[in-house]
């Protein structure tokens, strides 16, 4: 017996059916706006692409959870390296 999909992904089949494009299309759109806040990204999908609020919110939530953590991790690693370099200059 297969597990029921939960969370934002549960909206994906209806998003694809209603708007006629795969969710990957929407992730490419969101990638162009990844520096914006969650709600600003939702607003882009709603105003420029006429998605409903629930569908837009589900896409943004999934996109941010899967993609923006990578940038946070890279930023953290960069900050650690800078601190190590600075500590070498000021023991």
Percentage of residues in the chain having pLDDT higher than 70: 73
What does the mean pLDDT of the chain come to?
85
Asked if pLDDT for residue 50 goes beyond 90, the answer is yes
Q: How far apart are CA 76 and CA 56, in angstroms?
A: 29
In whole angstroms, what is the distance from residue 52 CA to residue 3 CA? 27
Q: What is the DSSP letter of 21?
A: S
Determine the average pLDDT of the residues in 23-29: 97
The tokens for 74 are 């890279």
Confidence grade of residue 88 (pLDDT, cut at 50, 70, 90): low
Could you say which DSSP state residue 35 is in? T
């Amino acid at each position: 017996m297969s597990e029921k999909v939960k969370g934002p992904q549960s909206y994906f089949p209806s998003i694809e059916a209603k708007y006629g494009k795969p969710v990957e299309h929407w992730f490419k759109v969101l990638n162009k706006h990844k520096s914006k806040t969650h709600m600003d990204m939702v607003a882009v999908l709603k105003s420029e692409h006429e998605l409903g609020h629930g569908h837009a919110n589900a896409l943004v939530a999934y996109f941010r959870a899967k993609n923006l953590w990578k940038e946070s991790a890279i930023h953290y690693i960069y900050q650690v390296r800078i601190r190590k370099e600075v500590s070498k200059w000021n023991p």
